[in-house]
Amino acid sequence: MAQTTHDQYPLIGPRELEEMELYHPKTWLGKYVFSQDAKVIAIQYSLTAIAIGVVALVLSVIMRLQLGFPNTFSFIDPSNYLQAVTMHGMIMVVYLLTALFLGGFGNYLIPLMVGARDMVFPYVNMLSYWIYLLAVLILVASFFVPGGATGAGWTLYPPQAVSPGTPGIDGGIILMLLSLCVFIVGFTMGGLNYVVTVLQARTRGMTLMRMPLTVWGIFMATVLALLAFPALLVSCIMMLLDRTLGTSFFMPAMQSLGDSTSYNGGSPILWQHLFWFFGHPEVYIVALPAFGIVSDLVATHARKNIFGYRMMVWAILAIGGLSFVVWAHHMYVSGMNPYFGFFFATTTLIIAVPTALKVYNWVLTLWRGNIRLNVPMLFAIGFIFTFINGGLTGLFLGNVTVDVPLSDTYFVVGHFHMVMAVSPILVIFGAIYHWYPKITGRMFNTALAKWHFWITFLGTYAIYYPMHYLGFAGVPRRYYAYGDTAFMSDSVQDVNVAITIAAIVVALGQLLFFYNMARSYFKGEEAGPNPWGATTLEWQTEHTPPRHGNFGEELPIVYRWAYDYGVPGARDDFIPQNVPPDDAHISHDSDRHPEIDPGHDPAGKEHD
Amino acid sequence: MSSDTTHAQGQQHPISIYLWIWGWLFVLSAFSYTVDLLELQGLLRWSLILLFMFLKAGLIVAVFMHMMWERMAIILAILAPPGAILVLIALMALEGDYTFVTRLLYFHNPAALAE
Amino acid sequence: MAEVLPGTPGETPGVRGLVSDWASDQMAFKNVPWGKAMMWIFLLSDTFIFSCFLVSYMTVRMSTLEPWPPVSDVFALHMFGADIPLILIAIMTFILITSSGTMAMAVKFGYEKNKNVTFWLLIVTAILGASFVGMQAFEWTKLISEGVRPWGNPWGAPQFGAAFFMITGFHGTHVTFGVIFLLIIAWKVKRGDLDHERPGFLTGRKGRYEIVETLGLYWHFVDLVWVFIFAFFYLW
Amino acid sequence: MLAPGLFVWNDFVNVPEDAQEVEAIGQQWHWTYRFPGEDGEFGTVDARLLSDDNPFGMDPDDPRGRDDVLVDSNIVRLPVDKPVKLLLRSKDVLHNFTVAQFRVKMDLVPGLVSYLWFTPTRTGEFEVLCEELCGIGHHTMRGKVEVTEVDEFDSWLAEQATYEELVNTPDGDPEAGQQLYAVCSSCHGAQGQGNKNMNAPKLAGQEAWYMRRQLEYYRDGIRGAHEDDTYGQQMAAMVSTLQSDKAMRDVIAYIETFPDEPVASTISGNEQRGRQIYQVCGACHGWDGQGIQAVKAPRQAGMQDWYLVRQLENFKQGIRGSHPDDMYGHQMMQMASILSDEQAVKDVVAYINTLPQNGNSQLAMKRSEEQ
Ligand code: HEA
Ligand code: HEA
Ligand code: CUA
Ligand SMILES: [Cu+2]
């Protein structure tokens, strides 16, 4: 039955498809600056995100200098320190990772991987980037207003975020909130594009269950973002009103540094709920694309099909759904209704199940694979290590009773850096190395890249592993200095020095990466269209780098899933997705992946 | 689910159905308004308001926005995610109540004194 | 036993269709144009925005010790020698519902490629929308003159004014944008852009009558939100 | 793994019946405490009633509050082996009450009252840390819990003033204070104008509550006990003349009658840089250096600069503020560490010299109101 319905479905795609040809730019400005080509937009997004990411990196070094060598640097006082912490956290999470994964990788890879000529609304896509840039500029401007950037912590908890005694309550917080609002508007424009492209503009034969996991990860992350950012938008608007008009959404009756205020009756906890209703999906927004990409890296470089593709997809969906009902695990000690602890501890541990499933599948994919330790593979394996590490500490924190002593200590800092600052960053590097040959047409310098990997991988372990120990020792986070605190042993300071040194080494190590990227762009060897022997569509384009419109005259037709690696009897040891069964030299209905329903295989129709 | 589904030319439905729904929306709005006019209070008031609200919302989504003629794929894709909101609503209601109770217990309450 | 019902060839209705649609290639939402799919998903996102506004309003209202102002008296108008509660709001509600009706018919006539009727229905919708915004402006003015401010009011909890101005303001902004787009599309209809598939000025997309439906979705959504605001803010 | 966690959480959420209720109050950036008094019930409070005269925001009309014991100090005592339910209230922003050794923590949220409970199982002193970001003083927001045997605790509690007593404390008597001041005047000057040669600072115009605390510190050996604090030791010896509560009140009342004469600058430095540094100081001492009682930070503007320099140096070197009971001094010690060198001290004091000399200190405001 399913078969018949499918056959009758017309061959031509959505009617809008033909219009993709309409907007070929004529001017230089239209081609490279106000480009509507998703690939150019992707590069623009990425470069902007990395540039602002480097700012956040510098801020983290400033923090580390203070923590490692207190009282040494006179330019770091408590307000500068808090400003650095805040901006570091916010930039890294929102302006670097979210933008880079979705705006950067999403734009580049989605149309190519699903076999579309471009995003469905190229014009809106272009606007999305420019609005994002505006948001970044507003954010940067907040460093330079009187009073400086906000120092409220990246969670911006009221009342403190808008009350005297916190740095940046004049211009800083207002610009921060504005910048977030602008970011969200820009992101929504892009996000609608990614989602609709995945849902409505795939090529012939590309079913959802044949999409590479990269696309799945980015797609689900985008959906989460579209549903989670509204909560942040709303809370930012309300805080702006509290700050500028004196409304009392989040502000109860209170005193402020000895002065009475005119606020009355608001609820600070409300902000926390809304923020984390956004915030927890947000951490998966930065994790899911990493999950997806790493699956593809692992499969490609281990020459093996991904283990349990179907399970992986369902796990992504489950994580996406569950991530909306765990938010208050960040609030166990926030003074909320304490009975919520039961609910959220339970849901939090449930969400670990699909995540653990993914981890097992990666490991099983590697199991007896023909592992090629190419640079992207190194990063992927590094990711698996750090993610397991960070995920397990997450379970500690998720268990409400264990969280109570650990919350707001360096244990939490260790957890989220392991799981967010190291793991996805490793994936980003791995992904950049993986797709660099496609994007530029040239190969990077492998030796330098390996150095870069080992410095970053071992170095970040050296930074964050000791932080867990600090957390057990009771060292609180967001502290400018510890003074003499009796229960902290002297070794705490020694550990801090070591962490700082490691952080500086890692930060300097990134210069290798930038040098490698820049040099190879001009001097690297020609890479050829498919250096890694990958199956997905972006490696099968007519040109490398792909031109505007991505594919040649005809859109590719997809005959198989994305993981036909190490196929016995195939010409190469892999079969690209767009190779028809006849050309693959092996029978099409082999037993490799019986979970793919052949009934939906248009190949069946084309060849009978 | 009705079977006269979409077709390449878009949605085609007799004009009468729009007029009918329009009429119903008027009536339901008038009902909700009457609830206020009659100064009904307590459980009756809330349940009536909610009832009329959901009926109106349902009519708008189902008919004016053509949801009832869409395919199941899109109906579920749109209607399922707001479930997350329901969790938020439920928990925030509990939270608001909890806050209120601690305030009542420990804070000076000018309104109560005035009574 | 699933019999394949008549309709578009190759489409299974109901739950089985759900599975086959999602499992198919190219499009998950069969025969849904890109623009309409985008609008639905945008509206979903927008639903979350308005829900968060309303949830925040609920929370602050539940938490405060101050009495909530007597809503139906606050919004009463002095007409015909008596204070009629909520009368303006009732009128606004009727207007918005009416505009939704005209919009729905505009969509219908759009698909029939009935240029003139579509144009006039869009214009009527826009006028109704604009008068809604006008009444809202009147209501704001009245409340402000009575001393309601975002940070306080004469009757009780300051969150009343804050939530009122924020929520109705955000909704009003939506209506205003809707009116602007209605006028633009009406003009395009009139000029025949949609009949001649003329490429858009900015986007280069061909004009089609589907855009009327997309716009219609947005407009109905604005009406939908008002239903909730009416119930939760004015009646509760 | 989940289930045992939830059982323990159940214990955490449900407080034992016999737990003694104590209220911990947080504010930028220190702690105070309240005990329910004999009736075992707390009086209600209101953040809108908070003022320098009513630092706990007590509702004067609530009879249950009259006997509440108010502990206006970072240091509190608790009895050993008795369950304690801590009610947590904040006057301004979020804070977090953490005693690492108790293994519990909870945020203080303005606009509601949260709680936690625990049973101290051994005696000793435990540090209270604030673990929710609350502004630039977050890392200095320390307190101390002294867990003692029950009878020791009871006698301590009995010494603490109740709300009733505090309200009824009579004002100081300047006439009586004049007599007592005779001893002081030889160093501090007849009008409290200070004397650099005697190393005695200006008193006129300093805040009464601050002088009161310092006198107590001198009396109790909390200040002026450090061996390198030569001048402090002198002062500590002099304070022996002011043993009683009343004596202190009276002499301060007398000092408050002195005219607040402007002082001459003796220190020069880079005011621009000092101003930068003062971005931190001003949060507590006020942007005009006028002092803020609620934050327990004394007035600086219009006080003698050489004295400020010396005290800053003392704080930096731990000569002042390192006594375990000098919690506010300890706070200043941590803050003074941002003055990385001598020049920084001079710069910031030079900037303080540019601030309005008696602009809006509390005393000045009080006087202008009286006129
Ligand atoms: C990419 C980001 C990311 C990810 C993926 C996670 C994943 C998880 N996080 Fe984390 N988290 C953050 C980013 C992230 N977190 C951030 C940024 C903060 C702090 C914000 C702030 O306050 O500033 C935070 C804080 C945080 C807290 C609050 C701590 C506190 O403030 O007191 C909690 C508590 O529950 C928590 C829990 C979890 C859990 C249970 C997971 C799970 O999803 C982890 C699942 C993974 C595994 C379980 C490991 C792999 C599995 C195996 C090896 C198999 C074996 C295991 C089992 C069978 C169980 N996180
Ligand atoms: C993605 C998120 C991310 C990343 C990458 C980092 C990276 C780093 N962070 Fe992180 N950090 C946060 C997110 C992140 N952090 C958050 C959310 C907080 C909480 C803020 C708050 O409390 O409000 C925080 C807080 C925080 C603290 C706690 C401060 C405090 O509580 O007082 C510390 C202390 O050491 C610290 C240190 C570091 C260091 C040394 C690095 C790095 O220097 C590690 C080494 C460098 C790398 C791993 C390379 C990364 C490269 C780039 C960023 C350049 C971009 C280029 C490309 C991607 C190509 N961070
Ligand atoms: Cu109080 Cu941090
Ligand atoms: Cu989380």
Over residues A375-407, the pLDDT tens digits come to: 899 999 999 999 999 999 999 899 888 888 899
Pair type for strands D142-148 and D75-79:
parallel
pLDDT band at A474 (very low <50, low <70, confident <90, very high): confident
Residue C85 has pLDDT above 90, yes or no: no
Q: Tell me which ligand sits closest to the C-alpha of residue A426.
A: 2
Angstrom distance (rounded) from CA B6 to CA B22 = 22
Contact A226 C45 (CB under 8 A): yes
Nearest atom, ligand 3, residue D94 CA: 1
Residue B39 has pLDDT above 90, yes or no: no
In the block, tokens 């210069």 appear at: A511
Residue C168 has pLDDT above 70, yes or no: yes
State ipTM. 0.92
Average pLDDT, chain B: 79
Contact in structure between D108 and D96 (CB atoms under 8 Å): yes
Residue A607 has pLDDT above 50, yes or no: no
Task: Please compute the mean of the pLDDT values over residues C92-118 and round it to a whole number.
Answer: 88
Q: Which of residues 246-305 of A touch D (CB under 8 A)?
A: 252-258, 260, 264-269
Nearest atom, ligand 3, residue D26 CA: 1
pLDDT tens profile C39-49: 999 999 999 99
Residue A525 has pLDDT above 80, yes or no: yes
Name which residue leads in pLDDT, C207 or A546: A546
Kindly report the nearest CA distance between residue B109 and chain C, in angstroms: 7
pLDDT tens profile A549-595: 788 777 888 888 888 887 776 667 788 888 877 666 554 444 444 34
Max mean pLDDT range (A333-337, A529-533, D177-181, D198-202): A333-337
User: What is the model's pLDDT at position A17?
Assistant: 61
User: What is the model's pLDDT at position C9?
Assistant: 39
Question: Residues of chain B whose C-beta is under 8 A from some C-beta in A?
Answer: 81, 84, 87-88, 91-92, 94-96, 98-99
CA A222 to centroid of ligand 1, rounded, Å:
20
Residue C198 has pLDDT above 80, yes or no: no
As a whole-number percent, the residues of chain B with pLDDT over 90 amount to 4
Q: Computed from CA positions of residues D115, D118, D123, D128, in that sequence, does the dihedral angle turn out positive or negative?
A: negative
Q: Which of A277-281, C208-212, D253-257 has the lowest mean pLDDT?
A: C208-212
- In one-letter notation, the amino acid at residue A390 is G
Minimum-distance CB partner of B99 among D44, D62, D112: D112
Contact in structure between A186 and A125 (CB atoms under 8 Å): no
Name which residue leads in pLDDT, A399 or C196: A399
Query: Hey, is A456 helix, strand or coil?
Result: helix
Residue C21 has pLDDT above 90, yes or no: no
Task: Please compute the mean of the pLDDT values over residues A415-425 and round it to a whole number.
Answer: 92
Angstrom distance (rounded) from CA C32 to CA A431 = 34
Query: Hey, is A511 helix, strand or coil?
Result: helix
User: What is the model's pLDDT at position A218?
Assistant: 95
Nearest CA to ligand 2 atom 22: A153
pLDDT band at A598 (very low <50, low <70, confident <90, very high): very low
Query: Hey, is A259 helix, strand or coil?
Result: strand
Contact in structure between C67 and B113 (CB atoms under 8 Å): no
Contact in structure between D97 and D32 (CB atoms under 8 Å): no
Average pLDDT, chain C: 84
Contact A337 B95 (CB under 8 A): yes
Q: Which helix (H) or strand (E) holds A229?
A: helix A213-244
Q: Tell me how many helices (H) and strands (E) chain A has.
A: 18, 2
Residue B4 has pLDDT above 50, yes or no: no
Q: Which of A186-200, A280-294, C122-136, D175-189 has the lowest mean pLDDT?
A: D175-189
pTM of the predicted protein model: 0.92
Q: Which chains lie within 8 Å of chain C at 3 or more CB pairs, if any? A: A, B
pLDDT band at B2 (very low <50, low <70, confident <90, very high): very low
Residue A6 has pLDDT above 50, yes or no: no
User: What is the model's pLDDT at position C33?
Assistant: 82
Residue D33: φ, ψ to 5°: -140, 160
Kindly report the nearest CA distance between residue B106 and chain D, in angstroms: 5
Name which residue leads in pLDDT, A94 or C18: A94
Name which residue leads in pLDDT, D363 or B96: B96
* Ligand 2 pocket residues where CB is under 6 Å: A 50, 53-54, 56-57, 60, 63-64, 67, 85-86, 88-89, 92-93, 96-97, 153-154, 413, 417, 420-421, 425, 428, 456, 460, 463, 477-479, 503, 506-507, 510
Residues of D in contact with A159 (CB under 8 A): 92-94, 110
CA A327 to centroid of ligand 4, rounded, Å:
6
pLDDT band at A223 (very low <50, low <70, confident <90, very high): very high
Q: Tell me which ligand sits closest to the C-alpha of residue D95.
A: 3
pLDDT tens profile C214-234: 999 999 999 999 999 988 888
Q: Which positions of chain D have pLDDT values less than 70?
A: 1, 358-371
Q: Residue A341: closest CA among chain D residues belongs to which residue? A: D9
- Optimal mutation site among C11, C93, C195, C235, interface B, most CBs of chain B within 10 A: C235
DSSP C110-165: HHTT-HHHHHHHHHHHHHHHHHHHHHHHHHHHHHHHTT-BTTB-SSS-THHHHHHH
